Amino acid sequence: MEEQIVITSGNKYIDIDAYAGIFAYRKLLKHMGYSAYAYTSAPTNESVSDLIKELGFTFDSVDFSKPTKYILLDVSNPQFFDAVVKENDILEIIDHHTGFEEYWKEKQVPHTIEFIGSICTIIFEMYEKNHLENLLDSNLCKLLMAGILDNTLNLKGSITSKRDEESYFKLQKLGQVDENWRMEYFESCYAKMENHLSQYLASDIKIEKVSDTLPEVIGQIIVLDKEVIFRHQEEVKAVFQKYPRWILNVIALKDGKSYIFYGSEMDKVGLEQLFHQPIEKEYLLLEPFLLRKQIMKTAREQKQK
């Protein structure tokens, strides 16, 4: 009996990068004659917005009593694999979270694990390598474009590579996708955020002692437009009011800047020392933006000097 190939991802949730990659890889493998299925038992997060769902891609029902091999996308740590995956039956792993290269090398499992912005870039490059770009219709191009946009933070994140940028614009041309679709996608992802801002803020607070210049409580939120935060400053303060010291890194995708709000005079002084610039407003402005992990890394490095 021919083995079926199940393409899947993580067990907690899947984002648009994994979602798009799964469907795009399924089409490529099916064209090559494989019995390939798109599957997940995990929920999708907000990056798989209503705009994306309207493109019409659906996961397959899979009979796991049949001989099955697995391809994992956007994950390489076995701890986070979809529950259906059997490690001994893994056919391939494609990920952009480094750290498990040696593990899979020892197990002799074919893997592509590289530091790049998006899995969708790798999948698109596979289409190019096989000269099968003609298989990508407009909707599949949009799907892959969304994966690249989300994981590179609008092509402005530090993880963005030249390969990500080139793949995005090739897909845009190939699918004849209007430039305005980029903002339509982001607006669809963040449309509901303003009504649930407190929930979003509270769900992404990291508590870790890094250095004396930073408070232990460091929040982060990604918004389309900075005005969302400015309209709700009192709500922001209410989320953090139980903490004597805190900062909130607000990444605005439209202008590509970080607006770092702070909870006390001590936090303000710490930010001034960390970034060597005076703060004259209720926030520190950084351009281009920095992710929270980059801010923490900067603090650690300064502490070691």
117 within 8 A of 159, measured Cβ to Cβ? yes
Q: Report whether CATH 3.90.1640.10 matches the domain 4-189.
A: yes
**Domain regions of the chain by residue span:** 4-189, 195-304
Query: Which range is least confidently modeled, 13-27, 136-150, 187-201?
Result: 187-201
194 within 8 A of 228, measured Cβ to Cβ? yes
> The dihedral of CA 165, 170, 173, 177: what is its sign?
negative
Could you say which of 3.30.10.20, 3.90.180.10, 3.10.310.20, 3.30.470.20 is the CATH number of the domain covering 195-304? 3.10.310.20
pLDDT at 1 over 60: no
pLDDT of residue 203: 85
pLDDT of residue 2: 76
CA 27 to each of CA 98, 135, 255: distance values in angstroms, whole numbers, following the listed order: 26, 8, 35
Tokens 């909870």 belong to: 263
> What band does 191 get if pLDDT is binned at 50, 70 and 90?
confident
pLDDT of residue 76: 95
pLDDT tens by residue, 96-154? 988 899 999 999 999 999 989 999 999 999 999 999 999 999 999 999 999 999 999 99
Beta bridge partners of 90: 70
pLDDT tens by residue, 31-87? 999 999 999 999 998 899 999 999 999 999 999 999 999 999 999 999 999 999 999
Same CATH fold assignment for domains 4-189 and 195-304: no
Contacting residues for 52 by C-beta, under 8 A, at least 6 apart: 16, 19, 143, 146, 185, 188
> What band does 303 get if pLDDT is binned at 50, 70 and 90?
confident
- Can you point out the beta strands (E) in the chain? 4-8, 36-38, 68-73, 90-95, 111-113, 205-207, 217-223, 247-252, 257-262, 283-286
What's 20's DSSP letter? H
